[in-house]
Amino acid sequence: MTEHVDHVVVGGGVMGSAAAWQLARRGREVVLLERFAPGHDHGASHGSSRIYRTTYPEPTYLDLAQEAFVLWRLLEADAGEPLLEATGGVSHARPDQPSARRTEAVASAFAARGIPFEWLDAVEAARRWPGLRFEGRVLHETTTAGRVHADRAVAALQRRATAHGADVRYETPVRHLEREGDGVRVVTQHGELVARSVVVAVGAWSAGLVAPLLDARDDPAGSPTLPLVVTQEQPAHFAPLDPTLPWPSFTHDPGPDAGYPSGVYGLASPDGVKVGFHAVGPRVDPDHRDRTPEPTQLEALRDYVRRWVPGADPDDLVPVSCTYTTTPDHDFVLDRRGPVVVAAGFSGHGFKFAPAVGRVLADLADEALGGTAASSASVRPDLARFALARFATVPVP
């Protein structure tokens, strides 16, 4: 028998779970479908830690980041457990790098918005955080940066969505989505649903599910595509040499001639000091990846820790395997085509925004049913930056 529901969310990672939580809090009828079992590690939302920080000069991202901070605290109160720990965050770069100029722009944006920060020289930064080496001026985001416990956050979003009335179904793979009338037919391994709106937030599996739903009838400017790249990334957890050392979240750009494939991010976690390169892994099929660390990149990561993270042991590490799903411009996709809401391309910097992205997705899903956004966000970020139209192709006459 076919079920008929108002909202279906496909994908129980952090973004889909946040959308279900936001919809359920509004009293909406919502079913969340997750392909795998709870707490799985097949996608990009697992693990013990993600960076939260506000280090963007762009108003749209700043709006989302500041909203997310408030909503993380709201989720903590709703769930009754801590999820976001404020440790402070630091950003530094070789002074001749473009990222150093970007950090200056971030500081200007902080000053304009009243976000607490300070500038430190490399010597003072190393005195405060002896587990790290620094170069150039160091931007310290003092009170609004830290780390989110990823696994606990996803579990809390799903648990609270359920408490607010959502129907969360695990081990329910979605085989096919197709437009049907004003809604969408959702074909799963266990049956079919017809939803008035569908939020698709399936990370590395996005293109395959979404592409058949992108109909030019919804956009006279052209037929949108979803040009996502899926890679297998391999950060690692390194054992701290002194468990009592303080650790901020950190980013560092040592420059392209330093011998590393990209800039580096890191933070302390329950599993050690997590350090990783950004979006440099090999392309993969998310259903057929071996999770084996690429030896050249792993050795480069160990060399970075040896040179720049004196508080961690470069020879005592546990590699991590996860998927990155990115767009060509590394901006998100947050858009609606008729009854279909698309959320994709978050990897590398998306997790921190999750509760605010969930609010955006809930607004779009409500609008698909002819309603108006019901969120209480004081600032509504401009979503034009995240529109599918930027990938539109002109229809052939």
* Dist. CA 48–CA 53, nearest whole Å: 17
Half-sphere exposure (CA, 13 Å, Cβ side) for 190?
9
Question: If you search the block for the tokens 């990672």, which residue do you land on?
Answer: 13
Two tokens at 282? 């090999």
Q: How far is CA 275 from the centre of its chain?
A: 17
Helix H or strand E segment including 68: helix 59-79
pLDDT tens digits for 285-333? 999 998 988 899 999 999 999 999 999 999 999 999 989 999 999 999 9
Query: What's the rounded mean pLDDT across residues 15-27?
Result: 98
pLDDT band for 394, please (50, 70, 90 cuts).
Answer: very low
* Dist. CA 356–CA 360, nearest whole Å: 6
Residue 78's φ and ψ, nearest 5 degrees, are: -65, -40
* Dist. CA 361–CA 77, nearest whole Å: 22
Short-list 293, 138, 288, CA closest to 205: 288
pTM: 0.94
Calculate Rg over the CA atoms of the chain: 21
The percent helix, strand, coil of the chain (3-state, each to 5) is 30, 30, 40
* Dist. CA 20–CA 157, nearest whole Å: 8
| 24 and 30 Cβ atoms separated by less than 8 Å | yes
Query: What's the rounded mean pLDDT across residues 27-34?
Result: 98
What does DSSP assign to residue 371?
-
pLDDT band for 395, please (50, 70, 90 cuts).
Answer: very low
By three-state DSSP, how is residue 59 classified? Answer: helix
Domains, the chain, with CATH or none: 3-46+151-226+329-390 (3.50.50.60), 89-143+229-326 (3.30.9.10)
**Is a pLDDT exceeding 80 seen at residue 381?**
no
| 12 and 159 Cβ atoms separated by less than 8 Å | no
pLDDT band for 365, please (50, 70, 90 cuts).
Answer: very high
Helix H or strand E segment including 150: helix 150-163
